[in-house]
Chain A
Amino acid sequence: MKPPAFLLRTIEMSKEEIDEVTGVSTTGHEWDGIKELNNPMPRWWVRTFYATIIWGIAYTIAMPAWPMVESATKGVLGYSSRAELRAELDEATATQASRRTAIKEKSLNEILADDELRRFAISAGSAAFKVNCSQCHGSGAQGSPGYPNLNDDDWLWGGDIKSIYQSIAHGIRFNGDPDTRISEMPAFAGVLEDKQIKEVAAYVASLSNTSSDPALVEPGKVVYEENCAACHGDGGQGGRDMGAPNLVDAIWFYGASEAEIAAQVRAPKHGAMPAWLGRLGETTVKELAVYVHSLGGGEE
């Protein structure tokens, strides 16, 4: 094969001048007295180089490449990274389909008993939790004052899988759901005298061994039995039927100090949680319930 024209020109030029030191011909190019030696690449290499140029041009025709006013050229193969992502997501959804159907069809206890399904539900629930629940309960479900910690074993409305499901599905004090959990502690500010409120707060604090003024505890007990025991129980153990907190344990929803307890007696704050069944659907709510149940406080 004859070398291409521009190389031939190079050869002709090189015939004109041979570098003395190396004995190699020069390309004829010269900058400030420095000359370029003519050491071309091997032919197969040059051809490979040409091939890559052709490949490069062909690629920009086949694939999206050239920026235009509106968008880039589409490429004749019609590739799009978005379509690829969509396809991958569809594929992922498709591979999850059989398990998600199983979750939908099985009862919560059946899911817990099936190790593989349970693990899948935990992963899925964990993802759904991050998106929908972490805003209030925290990304580790650790909660904050007024928002329950879901890792511990203290449950306002019950910690077995069915109760958890019920709370997530229908919410707490959520107007839009007729099945929502409702209870409301009355404000005692107008009912009890300030002194009585201080006394009952001291009594409640003493239930979990926190220090308090012993003089207030005795009268506080009387106030408690008359006003509070109906919901919170005689011993202060709470009542899950109406979401009445346990007052003898180490966990405090709105703070453990007597002042905080007194404030809650005077004008109680009530948290609310939306119902998720309508928004997320049964399968996801089940997954969320299994996830929350797995965090360490789940009851049998």
Chain B
Amino acid sequence: MLNPAEIEKLDVEAVNSASNRQPLYVARRKIHPKRASGNFRQLKWIVMAITLGIYYLTPWLRWDRGPHAPDQAVLVDLAHGRFYFFFIEIWPQELFYVAGLLVMAGIGLFLLTSTIGRAWCGYTCPQTVWVDLFLVVERAIEGDRNARIKLDQAPMSFRKLGLRLTKHMSWLLIAVATGGAWIFYFADAPTLFRDFFTGQAAPVAYITVAILTATTYTFGGLMREQVCIYMCPWPRIQAAMLDENSLTVTYNDWRGEPRSRHTKKAVAAGERNGDCVDCNACVAVCPMGIDIRDGQQLACITCALCIDACDGVMDKLHKERGLISYATFRDYDANMALATVGGTTPIDPARVRGSDGRFVPGIADFNWRSVLRLRTLIYVTIWTLIGLIMLYALLTRDRLEVNVLRDRNPQYVILSDGSVRNGYTVKLLNMIPQPRTITLRLEGLPGASMSVSGHHTGPEERSVNVPVEPDRLRALKVFVRQPADQAHPERQTFRFVVEDKVNQETSAYTATFNAPGEHK
């Protein structure tokens, strides 16, 4: 077992902790996060690989939809107003599915935040992931914390210039790849890739890549924690969502304080210290430049790297891990009450550890009940309900639709034989990527027949067959005529029924037929 004094005390200042924060008009003080290792770091590597993989690779996935539709698995086709997602194809009027997804994402975020705190910030937020990526590159080129500080202080030299150039070029490369990947979601990726490098892509493609390159480079390389602390609204919103049962990264001062590097001396003097050896390892790894020992704070994104750092220290000291840990405020409060006399006296280590060095019974620890509680169950229920409704709607939705607009000017036309005619714009929506022959027919309206403008149907009929191109809307001008002897003085309703006899799909639209009232 190491003597606490043998644990290296890192010379680091938590530049963004409330007490040290610079006046804001002074230049940002640079943070040099130290490499962390441990379970959470491991988890973050995995999450990073998955999220970046999804982002960069998705546009390259293929999905066969036949000869009449693009074969890109995920594609936002703005020009034609289509969104393709594997077997799902969404038309503009079905955008409510996207709205539903956003609602689900929102509720999912409430759920996550109310249970495991700012997990979004700490693990999956693009800002966090890309900053992490930029940091790995920086570390690989310029070395870890100490080397980077030294390099910063060193006068300009060939070596420094070389390292700096390499770093910024690598960052820019990542930034270009990031901006570049984005545009592939909006066009056929392989084609666009070729066009992009032969200078034949649309100007908007180059502009988008340029803008996203600039933002990625600036946010990931230069601004980093500033984005989280000053620009992002989420830290403010999260404050309203956390409650006393939400897990957050917590420094357990009930077992850490009083912190000291000189435990032996203290013991000799008949005093007891807490577990914190004031080594600053937690501060050195923090990408936000704060000291978690100041308590929960807005700047903490709960990346959990300080947990890894401190766990490493505790291992060396042969103490229990978890001096910094995910804890709920409720547990923390209970333990603080144990360590102090009703919160009025300073923390007394003797109240939480017996003379044998073990924790006294009654120390609150993580409990599943903090996750499974009414609030989270309500979130889960709503989330699942919306999901199921959407799924049901998606599986049963129509891929053949008809929309009808009745002519309003004129409302009706009387023909020479006294019959009454109404005009309609009938829109046939073939929402599958195959050509179809759609039968349009009248239902109701006794004696009526129809003719389609520009469509040579011969004599007027009650049913016509119209070919519709794959994945297209076809608008028809349809005239419906009712003979004088069948005409009705009042407005009548009838239905336009469309049918695809091959695929056994039908759809209908209820329309009205106007007559001149007193006429006839």
Contacts and interface: CB of A to CB of B under 8 A. Distances in A.
A binds B: yes
Contacts of B24: 39-43, 45
Contact of B23 (A40, A44, A251): A40
B18 to A, nearest CB: 10
Contacts of A1: 27
B414 A250 contact: yes
**Chain B at the A interface: mostly helix, strand, loop or mixed?**
loop
Interface stretch (A69-77, A151-159, A196-204, A260-268): A151-159
Given A41-B25, A43-B28, A140-B409, A250 B454 contact: no
A151 B479 CA distance: 11
Contact of A250 (B26, B408, B409, B418): B418
A154 B28 CA distance: 83
A191 interface: no
Contacts, number: 79
Interface string A114-125: 010011000000
A251 B416 contact: yes
A43 B226 CA distance: 11
A3 B23 CA distance: 11
Nearest to B24: A42
Contact of A42 (B226, B416, B417): B226
Given A250-B416, A294-B453, A151 B410 contact: yes
A153 B416 contact: yes
Contacts of B454: 112, 115, 118-119, 294
Contacts of B453: 294, 296
B406 interface: no
A140 B410 contact: yes
Interface string A142-183: 100000010111100000000000000000000000000000
A3 B26 contact: yes
A296 B413 contact: yes
Residue of A39, A112, A141, A152 with most chain B CB atoms under a 10 A cut-off: A152
A46 interface: yes
Contacts of A138: 409-410
B223 interface: yes
Nearest to A38: B23
B315 interface: no
Interface residues of A, number: 33
Given A115-B454, A250-B415, A294-B453, A142 B410 contact: yes
B94 interface: no
Contact of A246 (B25, B416, B418): B416
B409 A249 contact: no
B415 A153 contact: yes
Contacts of B35: none
B230 interface: yes
B24 to A, nearest CB: 4
Nearest to A46: B25
Given A42-B28, A140-B409, 4 more contacts: A43-B24, A43-B26, A119-B454, A296-B479
29 contacts: A1-B27, A11-B23, A40-B24, A40-B25, A41-B25, A42-B25, A43-B25, A45-B24, A45-B230, A115-B454, A118-B454, A138-B409, A138-B410, A140-B410, A149-B413, A151-B421, A151-B423, A152-B414, A246-B416, A249-B416, A250-B417, A250-B418, A250-B484, A251-B414, A251-B415, A251-B416, A294-B453, A294-B477, A296-B413
